[in-house]
Structure 1
Amino acid sequence: MNINPQIEEIFKDFEVDGVFIPIAFLNYYGKSDVYLTYYTWLEQSQEFHDDDYHASISYATIDIFSKTNFKNILASVKQKLKENGFTWIDNSPETYEPEIGFYHVAVNFYIEGTSD
Structure 2
Amino acid sequence: MIGLTTHVLDLTHGIPAADVVIQLLRLGDTGASLIKTGKTNGDGRLDEPLLSEKEMQNGEYELLFFIGDYFRGKELSLPEPAFLDKVSIRFGIAETNAHYHVPLLVSPWGYQVYRGS
What's the TM-score, normalizing by structure 2? 0.29
Between structures 1 and 2, the one with greater strand share:
1
Q: Tell me which of the two structures has the higher relative contact order, counting C-alpha pairs closer than 8 angstroms and 6 or more residues apart.
A: 2
